[in-house]
Amino acid sequence: MVDNISNPKIPVFVSSTYTDLIPYRDEVSKLLNSMGFEVHGMENFGSRTESPLHTCLNEVRLCKIFIGLLGMKYGSIDKSSEKSFIEIEYETAKENSLEILFYLINEDEALVFPKFVDICSDNNNKGARLKEFKDLIKDRHTVSFFKTPTELRIEVERDVKRLLLIRDLRLVSTSRPHAGDNLTVFAAGDQSYYIGEKIRLIGTYRPGSRIYLFLTGPHLNPFGVKLDNLAINTISDNKGTFTEVRVEPDNTWTYEWDTSKVIDLRESGTYTIFAVTDPKNKEDLSPENYSTTLITIKNPFISATMSRSIVARGDECFITGIAEGNPNSVYLWIFGANYRMLQNPINVNADASFSFKFTRDLTKKLEPGQYFVVVQHPGKNGRADIRTSKPGESTDIFFKQPTDASSAVTITKPAQMTPGDAAEKLLEMLNLPDVDDIYTKAAFLIEEPDINIDPIKPKVIGESFTITGFTNLNVDDELLIEFKQNFPSEGDPRSGKSFGLSGVCRVIRGEAENKWSFDVDGSTLVKGYYILKVTSLETGTKTQTIIEIKEN
C-alpha cells in the first residue's frame, strides 16, 4: 500500500480594490488559473458568518503568494484601524511570510475614469493616504507598473514563473516525484504543458518488457485513470484499464501522450503520472514497483487589446495580444456598418504574441460607427471548430465544423445581420458545448478625422506663445503648422507675398483626447491678422483660424 499522494495547487491571494480594477483582476485570475494555481480573492468568497475583513485575512493566511494591485483608489476603510482593507491584507501577508508581488497602475499613461480616482480633499483624505501607501510599498518592495490588463498579465506571468524557479514553493506539499527500483519516468520539456500539446514521456526499465502508465490529478479517481482515456478508472490486474508501453531491448521506453485527444482533460492543475511494473492501481502499489513524475497542465489562453478605442478614419491602429497553447494562428473577425472580415488568420509568434495592423488604406474604407472584433483561438484540439467557407472580406457565411457524423452544421449569413447581431451570433456559436475554440472580444469606433485649435487671444508684437489643440488622430501623427499673413493691398510693395512661419509638430497622448502644441517665436512677427492652418500629414485633414498680432 502506498501513502496517499495529493496534488494540491499553490494558493495565491489577489488583493486590490474592486470596481475600478475588474478587468485587471479578471486578467490576473484567468492567468493564474491557466497556470494551475488556486486563486483566492473576493470574487470567490461567497456568504460567510465572519465579517468581510476577517474573511479576507483568513484567506490571506491560507496562501503562499500575495499579489497586490494598486490603482487610483484607496478602498474600503476598517473603522478600528482606519486603514484600507488592502493595506491590512498586505500587513497580514508580511506577518505570515507570504511571497509578495506588487503592481502599480501607471499614473501618467493608463486610462483611468475620474470616478475611479480618490482625491486628497475628500472626507477621509483617501488620495493622500493612497500616495503614502504606494510610497511605503515602493520603499519595501521592487514593484512593476502597468497600463493595460494585457500588460499586467504579462508582468505577473513573468514574475510568478521567476518566483517558482527561485523559491521551491511546490515542495511545501507532499506531492513529490517517487523513484522505484530499476524503473524511471520523465516528461520531456519543462513539465508545464497546455491542454492540446503532445507530451513525450520517457524512461527506463531493466527487468521486464512492459510497463504500465496511469494518471492522478484534480477531479480524477484518486486511485488512477487510464492515461489516454480518463473515463476509465484503473483496476488492479486489469491491463485494459492501464496504458501499456513496450520496453525496447536497450531497456528504454517512450510514449507520446497527445492531450488534444483526451476528451475529459479540462482542468488545469498539477497531475502525477505513474509508471508501474505491474498493472496495479495506486491503492495496491509497493514503493519499489513504481515511479512518478509531476506535470502542470494549463488551459489555452487568449487576450487582445486595441491600440485605440476611437480611431480616426484614414489613421492606422493595431490589435495585439497573447495566445498561449502553441497555436500556429489565431483568427480575426470584424463586423461593422460597411465592412466584414471573417476568420482572417494571424500568425502567432514563438513568444505567443500576435498583432494585426489596420492600415490607413483599410480604415479609409470604414464608415464612421462602431466595429465589433472577435479573436478566435483554435483551442485544445488545434483546429477552428467555427469556420467560414472562405476566410477574408468576401465570404458571407460561417458554420460549425462537424465533429462526427451526427453533428449538425449551422450556417449563418452575417451580411444579412446588423454588425452587433452578427458578432453575437458568432459568440453564440463559439460558446456551443461541443465547440473547443476560445475567444476574446473588443470594439472600436471609427470617426471622421478631427483637428481642433484651442481659443487664442490676441498677441502683441514680440510676444512668444504656444498654440495648442486636441485631436482624435494617433499619437506621433505629424501636423503641419502654417502661421502666415498675406498682404493683398496693391499699394503695398509686399503685396501678394506671405509673411510668417511654419513647422511640424507631433500628436501626443492626452487624457480624454490626444493633444498637440506648437511654439511660436513672436520676435519675427509684425502687426496684422494671421491665418493659422493645421494639416494632418497622414490623413490630409485641415483646420484653420485667425490670430491677431497687435502693437504693444
Mean pLDDT of 116-132: 75
Residue of higher predicted confidence among 145 and 326? 145
Cell of 508: 501626443
Question: What pLDDT, in 10s, does the model give residues 210-241?
Answer: 999 999 988 888 899 999 899 999 999 999 99
pLDDT at 333 over 70: yes
The rounded distance, in Å, linking the Cα atoms of 329 and 524 is: 58
Residue with cell 491584507: 89
Contact 430, 330 (CB under 8 A): no
H-run or E-run covering 160: helix 149-166
Average pLDDT of the segment spanning 497-501: 64
Q: Which residue type sits at 199?
A: I
Location of C-alpha cell 452575417: 414
CB 477 within 8 A of CB 315: yes
User: What number is the average pLDDT over the span 143-158?
Assistant: 89
Which of the listed CATH numbers 2.60.40.10, 3.40.50.620, 3.40.190.10, 2.102.10.10 matches domain 306-447?
2.60.40.10
Q: How far is the C-alpha of 65 from the C-alpha of 39, rounded, in Å? A: 10
Its sign, for the CA torsion 129, 131, 133, 136, is negative
Q: Where are the domains of the chain?
A: 11-172, 186-298, 306-447, 451-550
Shared fold status for 186-298 and 306-447: yes
Is this prediction's pTM over 0.75?
Answer: no
Site of grid cell 497527445: 258
Between the two ends of the chain, the Cα-to-Cα distance in Å is: 101
Compute the distance between CA of residue 529 and CA of residue 194 in angstroms, rounded to an integer. Answer: 68
Task: Please list the alpha-helical segments (H only) found in 401-445.
Answer: 419-430
* pLDDT of res. 111: 77
Least Cα distance to 239 among 263, 257, 213 occurs for 213
What pLDDT was estimated at residue 491? Answer: 47
CA 191 to the chain's CA centroid: 23
pLDDT of residue 321: 87
How far apart are alpha carbons 268 and 36 in whole angstroms? 5
Are residues 340 and 415 in contact, defined by beta-carbon separation less than 8 angstroms? yes
- Looking up cell 523513484 gives 179
**222-236 burial, b if ≥16 CB within 10 A, otherwise e?**
ebbbbbeebebbbbb
In angstroms, how far is CA 310 from the centroid of its own chain? 20
Phi/psi of residue 403, nearest 5 degrees = -100, -20
CATH number for the domain whose boundaries are 186-298:
2.60.40.10
Judge whether 18 and 281 are in contact, CB under 8 Å. no
Choice among 10-14, 132-136, 192-196, 517-521 with the minimum mean pLDDT:
192-196
Which of 154, 68, 69, 156 lies closest to 105 in space, CA to CA? Answer: 69
* DSSP designation for 409: P
Superfamily of domain 11-172: Toll/interleukin-1 receptor homology (TIR) domain (3.40.50.10140)
Grade residue 359 by pLDDT with cuts at 50, 70 and 90.
Answer: very high
Percent of all residues in the chain with a pLDDT value above 70, rounded to a whole number: 89
Q: How confident is the model at residue 7 (pLDDT cuts 50, 70, 90)?
A: very low
Place of cell 492531450: 259
Asked whether the predicted pLDDT for residue 408 surpasses 70, the reply is no
pLDDT digits 0-9 by tens, 262-285: 877 877 778 999 999 999 999 899
Distance (Å) of CA 163 to CA 2, 12, 158: 32, 12, 9
Helix (H, G, I), strand (E, B) or coil at 442: strand
Q: How does pLDDT run across 157-194, given as a tens digit for each residue?
A: 888 887 876 655 543 334 556 666 689 999 988 788 88
- What is the chain's mean pLDDT, rounded? 84
Q: How far apart are CA 483 and CA 519, in angstroms?
A: 11
What is the four-CA torsion angle of 494, 498, 501, 506, rounded to 10 degrees?
180
**Residue 411 confidence (pLDDT) above 70:** yes
In the sheet that holds 398-400, the strands lie side by side as 386-388, 398-400, 411-412
pLDDT-derived band at 395, boundaries 50, 70, 90: low
Q: What's the grid cell of residue 497?
A: 507675398
Q: In what order do the strands lie in the sheet with 478-486?
A: 459-460, 542-550, 528-536, 478-486, 498-506
CB 213 within 8 A of CB 318: no
The H or E element that residue 506 is part of is strand 498-506
What are the cell numbers at 381? 484540439
Q: CB under 8 Å to 516, separation ≥6 — which residues?
A: 451, 468, 469, 470, 471, 479, 505, 506, 507, 508, 534
Domain made up of 451-550: CATH architecture:
Sandwich (2.60)
3-class DSSP assignment, residue 70: strand
Q: In sequence order, what are the beta bridge partners of 478? A: 506
3-state SS of 462-481?
A: CCCEEEEEEECCCCCCEEEE
Which pLDDT tens digit goes with each residue over 46-77? Answer: 777 778 888 888 888 888 899 999 998 888 88
Enumerate the β-bridge partners of residue 189.
none
Beta bridge partners of 15: 68
Using DSSP's 3-state secondary structure scheme, residue 185 falls into coil
Question: Pick from 149, 102, 538: which is nearest to 363 by CA?
Answer: 538
pLDDT of residue 104: 93
Q: Which of 68-77, 416-425, 482-491, 543-552 has the lowest mean pLDDT?
A: 482-491
At residue 305, does pLDDT exceed 60? yes
pLDDT given for residue 185 in this prediction: 92
